Amino acid sequence: MRNAFADEITRLGASDPRVVLLSGDIGNKLFDKFKQQAQNRFYNCGVAEANMMSVAAGMALSGLRPVVYTITPFTTTRCLEQIRVDVCYHRAPVVIVGTGAGLSYAELGPTHHSLEDLALLRSLPEMTVFAPCDEVELRLGLRAALAQDGPVYMRIGKKGEPVIHSGQPGFRFGKAITVREGEDVCLISTGTMMPVVLAAGDLLGRKGLSARVESFHTIKPLDTGRLKEVFARYRLIAVVEEHSRLGGLGGSVAEWLSSQDGLRGHMIGFGTDDVFMHEVGSQEYGRHKFGLTSENIAETVSARLASLPSA
Amino acid sequence: MDAKIGKLEQTARIIRARIIENSHRTQTPHLASCLSCVDILVAAYFEVLRIDPSKPTESNRDRFILSKGHGAAALFQVLALRGYYPESMLDHYGEDGSVFAEHPPAPAYLPGIEAATGSLGHGFPLGLGMALAGRIQNQTYRVIALVSDGECNEGSTWEAAMLAAAQKTENIGVIVDFNKWQATGRSEEIMGPVSLAGKWRAFGWNTCEIDGHDMGELVRRLQQVPDGSGKPVAIVAHTVKGKGVSFMEDDNNWHYRIPSAEEVKAAKRELGVLA
């Protein structure tokens, strides 16, 4: 996703002179092409993310479309107050990009994990929170972000994620994309979990259960229309995210659900526990530890379905 | 020039009187912090800035950022007198539903405001973004950010200072309202035992120290942004907290204290502003 981001921002920067790229002392090679074509619109802001975020807000208030890029914790929690006050309160059209979604940088330790960012950023007024599942959604979302007048937080993976969408799906923030149709259960995925969720759907298929798969690339605004539809139709809806179970997409769906009456569906959430993963491990290790595997999702979902009344 | 400076000084006296009256009437604190920066605001808004209050969002306007947002009660009076909005709007200061709080609102809510400040260490970095945006878009506007000495505790102030110097941002000036106090004590004792001007110099800024109540000097220095040095400009303005009223000057109790009706009368008498 990182490379797709660099490629897409280079394209967009070539056609839109308002696009300015700010990096917190990373991705220098990654952005060589952008720098070649628009040297005066690339700023390495150093290891000083609070200032970088305010500078971006100031640029956005002066007619530019700044895109801020660094590793997720440093572009979110490190400078949360700058995002809250300078970006959101001013409704400054800043695109905040965090690379290393969830446990993408598991090996780097908890300082580099991003398991609270969705919860924190979606609580800020004016903010759009976006987590693409692949580079197709990333490119579409980046274009949409630069075309809108308010701030967008974009949480992307690292590199080598598979492409999910063949062709160009219709795209709008706050509008989920149906990736696969199914009859018995609905799996809602956001961001980098999509390949795992699709694999879980395959495993459920082998158990004779047909799973619909939805890509909720936007956490905020929440696609409540799609939720209404699936909670009316399915007995069980599983929400899967590489994020704490506190306050992310699952929390968001649960908040919405608490205000609904008469829906058929029950919800089950998959995400990380309320802990810091202090031990060393790969992304696969971390996902396994928190049950974010296709096997666990398929197993838990089929068991839960069996326990629900069939009516 | 002398007549012009005299007129600015008179404007500053009127603003001071209005701030003190308003503090009493609306129970608004930070009085002494407002009084220490009145001369800076008046020099900027009534002489230096290239602005048109009837076009507050004109793209090539100079930007003034009150980074020390707790000086809002001073800024609100200055903007009204300068014609950004009717002075009668200030009658509703502090009322429920009013835009006039203890800190400036976002620009969308009040003409003339460039940034919602109050959390320290935000306004100057925002202003740096505006200055860089001006350069990218080939505009000639300048950005002046007014920071407090207490605000120089904030790390983000120095992050911005580093980037501004590294980018040779000539079209930004920072003026420090160096009144030697922060909320709870002497600023030198709390976080600043080292020369403030020396720090700005060390961070690569073309730095001068002036009397922050000398209107002629304020106008002259603020007009020299950019100053042709290829560096951003820092003006360390030595000020007196509570300036203009003998019983408030350099007394940090007036950071939060509200004046009584008697004290308002006495203050106005000293300022020579009776209306």
Q: Which of A156, A187, A210 is the last residue of a domain?
A: A156
* pLDDT tens digits, one per residue of B226-248: 999 999 999 999 999 999 999 99
What's residue B275's pLDDT? 61
Stretch A8-13: mean pLDDT: 97
Nearest to B125 among A55, A64, A89 (CB): A55
Domain extent at residue A183: 177-307
The domain spanning residue B81 has which CATH number?
A: 3.40.50.970
Nearest to B130 among A41, A51, A61 (CB): A61
**Sequence-distant (≥ 6) Cβ neighbours of residue A82 within 8 angstroms:** A50, A53, A54, A57, B122, B125, B156
Identify the sign of the CA torsion A182, A183, A185, A190.
positive
CB within 8 Å: A55 and B167: no
Q: What is the largest CA-CA distance in chain B?
A: 53
Same domain, A71 and A122: yes
Same domain, A20 and A138: yes
Whether residue A208 lies inside any domain: the answer is: yes
Whether residue A67 lies inside any domain: the answer is: yes
* pLDDT tens digits, one per residue of A127-145: 999 999 999 999 999 999 9
Nearest to A34 by CA among A45, A20, A24: A20
Whether residue A169 lies inside any domain: the answer is: no
Whether residue A163 lies inside any domain: the answer is: no
Mutate to test the interface with B, among A62, A70, A149 (most CBs of B within 10 A): A62
Q: Which of residues 155-174 of A touch B (CB under 8 A)?
A: none
pLDDT-derived band of residue A311, with 50, 70 and 90 as boundaries? low
CB within 8 Å: B126 and A46: no
pLDDT-derived band of residue A307, with 50, 70 and 90 as boundaries? very high
Stretch B46-57: mean pLDDT: 98
Q: Which of A107, A124, A156 is the last residue of a domain?
A: A156
Torsion of CA A234, A240, A244, A246, to 10 degrees: -10
Interface contact B132, partner A, CB < 8 A: yes
Stretch B184-202: mean pLDDT: 92
**Residue B9 C-alpha, separation from nearest chain A C-alpha, in angstroms:** 32
The domain spanning residue A83 has which CATH number?
A: 3.40.50.970
**Residue A308 C-alpha, separation from nearest chain B C-alpha, in angstroms:** 51
Interface contact A43, partner B, CB < 8 A: yes
Nearest to A63 among B106, B133, B166 (CB): B133
**Residue B183 C-alpha, separation from nearest chain A C-alpha, in angstroms:** 21
pLDDT-derived band of residue B138, with 50, 70 and 90 as boundaries? very high
Same domain, A6 and A127: yes
**Sequence-distant (≥ 6) Cβ neighbours of residue B159 within 8 angstroms:** A46, A48, A50, A51, B125
Identify the sign of the CA torsion A206, A233, A263, A252.
positive
Same domain, A205 and A260: yes
Domain extent at residue B245: 2-271
* pLDDT tens digits, one per residue of A252-290: 999 999 999 999 999 999 999 999 999 999 999 999 999
Cis peptide before A66 (omega within 30 of 0): no
Whether residue A164 lies inside any domain: the answer is: no
**Sequence-distant (≥ 6) Cβ neighbours of residue A15 within 8 angstroms:** none
* CA B83 to each of CA A2, B80, B89: distance values in angstroms, whole numbers, following the listed order: 50, 5, 11
Whether residue A171 lies inside any domain: the answer is: no
Tokens of A7: 């490629």
| Cross-strand pairs, B65 | B145
Does residue B89 surpass a pLDDT of 70?
Answer: yes
Does residue A194 surpass a pLDDT of 90?
Answer: yes
CB within 8 Å: A55 and B134: no
Interchain CB contacts (distance < 8 Å): A and B:
102
Whether residue A166 lies inside any domain: the answer is: no
Same domain, A16 and A103: yes
- The amino acid present at A75, given as its one-letter code, is T
Same domain, A184 and A136: no
**Cβ-based contacts of A43 with chain B (< 8 Å):** 132, 163, 167
Whether residue A165 lies inside any domain: the answer is: no
Does residue B163 surpass a pLDDT of 70?
Answer: yes
Same domain, A115 and A235: no
Interface contact A46, partner B, CB < 8 A: yes
Least confident segment among A23-32, A296-305, B220-229: A23-32
Same domain, A41 and A185: no
**Residue A90 C-alpha, separation from nearest chain B C-alpha, in angstroms:** 6
The count of structural domains within chain B is 1
CA–chain centroid gap for A42, Å, is 25
Stretch A87-94: mean pLDDT: 98
**Cβ-based contacts of A62 with chain B (< 8 Å):** 59, 129-130, 133-134, 137
- What is the residue-averaged pLDDT of chain A? 97
Same domain, A42 and A90: yes
Stretch B129-146: mean pLDDT: 98
**Cβ-based contacts of A56 with chain B (< 8 Å):** 129
The domain spanning residue A218 has which CATH number?
A: 3.40.50.920
Nearest-CA residue of chain A relative to B61? A62
CB within 8 Å: B167 and A43: yes
**Sequence-distant (≥ 6) Cβ neighbours of residue A296 within 8 angstroms:** A270
Interface contact B232, partner A, CB < 8 A: no
The count of structural domains within chain A is 2
